[in-house]
Amino acid sequence: IATHNENPKPYRWVKSAGQILASVKRFCQKTMSRTSDSGD
């Protein structure tokens, strides 16, 4: 960590908010599909 902190770089968003939300939506749909198919 100390080495990284010597030359820190800011985080840069490379996706738009819409792209991030679409990715979250796909993840949630996959997760819900898996849990509902498990039979629990």
Residue 7 lies in a domain: no
Distance CA 14, CA 20 (A): 10
Buried b (16+ CB within 10 A) or exposed e, 6-32: eeeeeeeeeeeeeeeeeeeeeeeeeee
The structural domain count of the chain equals 1
Q: What is the residue range of 40's domain? A: 15-40
Residue 19 lies in a domain: yes
Residue 8 lies in a domain: no
Q: pLDDT tens, 1-38?
A: 888 889 988 888 899 999 999 999 999 999 998 877 65
Residue 5 lies in a domain: no
pTM strictly above 0.75: no
